[in-house]
Structure 1
Amino acid sequence: MKALYKSGAHPGFELVDRPEPVPGLGEVKVRVMTTGICGTDLHIESWDSWAQGIIETPLIPGHEFYGEVVGLGDGVHDVRVGDRVSGEGHIVCGICRNCRAGRRQMCIRTVSVGVQRDGAFAEYVVIPETNVWVHHAGITPELGAIFDPFGNAVHTTLSFPLVGEDVLITGAGPIGLMAIAVARHAGARNIAITDVSQPRLDLARAVGADLAIDVSRMRIDEAQRQLGMREGFDIGLEMSGHPSALPEMIDNMNHGGRIAMLGLPSQDITIDWGKVVTHMLTLKGIYGREMFETWYAMSAMLQSNANLHAAVSSVVTDQLPAAEWQKGFDIARNGVSGKVVLDWTGFSGH
């Protein structure tokens, strides 16, 4: 099969032939149709310090995918050949305290698809049946390829009640854009989002933001005045990881405000902890998706709300054949696009 392959500890990938994976006990083999390019994949491709500290090569990366089940290992009970699926990329142990208590997203022994085991940038991928998500009708291959990051957006956005609340999102990347649509679906009042990329701010307006703020030109307190807000934001969703984003968010929160943090900081952040205490703010870290409450929530929301379905689908701005993977990575890295999806159906195995 064709696969993107990191053969050693160096930058770049190679599109090469690799043996097809064989499903073991309780595992499912999926013929990959589409894959999304994630920030994690950009780190692995460039072989930065984060990748060097966590990746063991050789490796087939990729964890955002949509495809068709073509093979079943022994002991598979519910998934069927022909099912159209995506996959939860965090494989958990099932026996640590958190797993046994039903908090599998907090497993202390998590192994990630495309990071610690071969992933989906290939014509075929194998994952445990327990990680397979079978799609309902109406999920396109492009939308199915971004269920993983859509889950990040849903998990983050629904961390706190949103009905009637004023929401500030920092970072208009693909997950921030999807968070706008989720917050609107959940009943938020005002939704503001920040970035410095004009194309992404334009996308944010199209998805449904009440105000898209170019923070190189406008401060968030001025945005509050434009929205007619008399106090601070009730809910903050920090999606960027930029060192200035969280401090400015804290400065613009209402007393008792709640902040969900998904963005991974690129450097140390100085926080006014006195304000966190005296304003009684709540900060909550978010990693991945709740397993599997988030998956049920996002599937149900897409089925029940055509506008949400259209908004999330619109976040995919670029689709390329997998053979043009380098171009796709360049687009994903430029910071002005939405989600980039690679199509794997052009190879002979399909």
Structure 2
Amino acid sequence: MKALVKEKAEPGLRLMDVPEPEIGPGDVLIKVLRTGICGTDLHISAWDGWAQQAIATPLVVGHEFVGEVVGTGRDVEDIAVGDRVSGEGHLVCGKCRNCLAGRRHMCRATVGLGVGRDGAFAEYVALPATNVWVHKVPVDLDVAAIFDPFGNAVHTALSFPIVGEDVLITGAGPIGLMAAAVARHAGARNVVITDVSEERLELARKIGVSLALNVAETTVAEGQQVLGLREGFDIGLEMSGRPEAMRDLIANLTNGGRIAMLGLPSQEFAVDWAKIVTSMITIKGVYGREMFETWYAMSVLLEGGLDLSPVITGRYDYREHEAAFADAAGGRGGKVILDWTV
């Protein structure tokens, strides 16, 4: 089969022929239809410092996908050939304290699809049945391909009660945009998003945010004045991993404000801990999705009319992967999709 492979310890990916994956008694074989390019894939392609530490070559990359089941192991129940599915990309041990308590997203032995084992940028991918999400209600293929990052957005946006609250989102990348759409749909009063890319801020306006701020030109405090906020934001969603963004969040929260932080910083940075203490601010780190409560919420949100189509801005044949990766790395658009059906 054809697959995108990190063949050697060097920049770039190669489209090449590799053996089809084999499945065990508890596994599912899936024909891949569409995939989404993630920031993790960009790191692996660029072969940066993180990738050099985390990746063993050769490796089939990719973890965001939708496909059709074409085979199941003998012990698999409730998943059938022909089912349309997406996959939870965190494979957990099932035996540690957190797994046994139902907190599988906190498993200390997590293995990432397309990071620690061969992934989904291929014509076929194999997954344990326990990691397969069957779409019971029809979902647009492009949207189904990005259920993994959509789950990150939902997990972050719904970390705290959001109805009637004023929400500040720092970072209008694809997950930040999806989080903004979720917050609006879930009943936030005001949703403000910040970035320095006018192209991405324009996407946020299409989603329907209350205010899209270019923080290179306008401060968050000035944004508060535009909306008539007197005490600051109730909830902050940090999606950028940038120190200046986190500082903006802390400085513009009300007393008792809450921050859900998904953005992954590239290095340590200082924040105003005195402000955090005296304003009684709660900070929650978010990684991945709650299995499978977040997935249920994702499906229900889409059934309820949540529209993610503005977030998807690039669609490519998988053989055009170089152009697709360049688009995704450009930092101006939303999600980029690779079509494996052509």
Query: Normalising TM by the smaller chain, what interval?
Result: over 0.9
Map 1:1-350 → 2, pairs under 5 A: 1-304=1-304, 306=305, 308=306, 310=307, 312-346=308-342
Distance 2:259 2:249 in 1: 9
Judge which range, 266-275 or 124-133, deviates more. 266-275
Distance 2:224 2:287 in 1: 29
Distance 2:140 2:321 in 1: 20
Give the AA of the match of 2:92.
V
| TM-score normalised by structure 2 residue count | 0.99
Distance 1:3 1:125 in 2: 10
SS state of the match for residue 59, structure 2? coil
Distance 1:25 1:338 in 2: 38
Distance 2:25 2:7 in 1: 27
SS state of the match for residue 244, structure 1? helix
Deviation at 1:138? 2.7
Deviations 1:110-131 (A, max 9, x none): 0110000000000000000000
SS state of the match for residue 192, structure 1? strand
Any runs of at least 4 consecutive aligned residues in structure 1 with deviations exceeding 6 A, and if so which? none
Deviation at 1:84? 0.3
Give the AA of the match of 1:327.
A
Give the AA of the match of 1:250.
I
SS state of the match for residue 250, structure 2? helix
Deviations 1:259-302 (A, max 9, x none): 00000012222111000000000000000000000000110111
Give the AA of the match of 1:328.
A
Distance 1:318 1:8 in 2: 27
Aligned residues: 342
Q: Is the 8 A contact 1:243 1:266 kept in 2?
A: no
Deviation at 1:161? 0.3
Identity %: 64
Please list every run of 5 or more consecutive structure 2 residues that lacks an aligned counterpart in the other structure.
none
Distance 2:213 2:104 in 1: 36
Deviations 1:91-111 (A, max 9, x none): 000000000001000001001
Give the AA of the match of 2:312.
V
Distance 1:263 1:206 in 2: 23
Distance 2:25 2:214 in 1: 51
Please list every run of 5 or more consecutive structure 1 residues that lacks an aligned counterpart in the other structure.
none
Give the AA of the match of 1:94.
G
Distance 1:288 1:199 in 2: 26
